[in-house]
Amino acid sequence: MAELATIARPYAEALFKASSSDVAGTSAWLEKMAAIAANPELQQFADNPKATAEQVLGVVAGAFGAPLAAHAQNFLGALLDNGRFSVLPEIAKQFRALANAKSGSSDAVVYSAFPIDASALANVAAALEKRFGRKLQVTVQQEPELIGGIRVVVGDEVLDTSVKARLEQMKVALAA
C-alpha cells in the first residue's frame, strides 16, 4: 500500500537517524514490537477512542515480555499520539531496508518443503551470497506444497529450484 509506505517513511528515517549508534539493537526491539502491533485485536484496541495511549502502551509492554527502553516507549508514544500505531509493521519493514542499505546486505527468505538444519542452511546461505553477490540475512519458512527443493526470494529476485516449479515447467513443455 503506497499510503502506508508514505506515512511510515518519515518515522522509519527518523528512527534510523536517531539510532545510528545501535541499529541492531533498535532493529531487534522494533521487529518484536511490529509483530505485536500486527495483531488485529490490538490494532482495534489502539484505534478505540476510549483507550488511552498509556493503556495501549501498557498492553504492548506486557506483550513485549521485557521492560521497554525509554526510547522505545517514546517512539511508541509518538505513534499512539499521532494515531499511527497500525503503521508500525510498515515502519519496521522500511527501517530494515535502511539498515540493509547501510550494511550492504539484503533480506532473503528461503522457502523449503522440509526443515533445514543449521549446517545445511549455512551452506545454502554461502552459496546464495555468492550467487546474489551480497551479504544476505537469511530466514527460512516451511512450505510443504513445494514437494522438495527450495525457493529463494531476495527483494524482487526469485530463484526457484523446487520440485513443484520443475513439474510446472514440464507441464508447460508437454502442453506446447
pLDDT number for residue 176: 82
pLDDT number for residue 105: 93
pTM of the model: 0.78
Judge whether 157 and 115 are in contact, CB under 8 Å.
no
Collapse the DSSP code of 128 into the 3-class scheme (helix H, G, I; strand E, B; otherwise coil) and give the result: helix
Q: For the sheet with 105-112, list strands across it.
A: 135-142, 105-112, 150-154, 157-160
Q: What is the pLDDT along the chain (176 residues), one digit of tens a residue?
A: 558 999 999 999 999 999 988 999 999 999 999 999 999 999 999 999 999 999 999 999 999 988 888 999 999 999 999 999 999 999 999 999 999 999 999 999 999 999 999 999 999 999 999 999 999 999 999 999 999 999 999 989 999 999 999 999 999 999 98
pLDDT number for residue 66: 87
pLDDT number for residue 148: 94
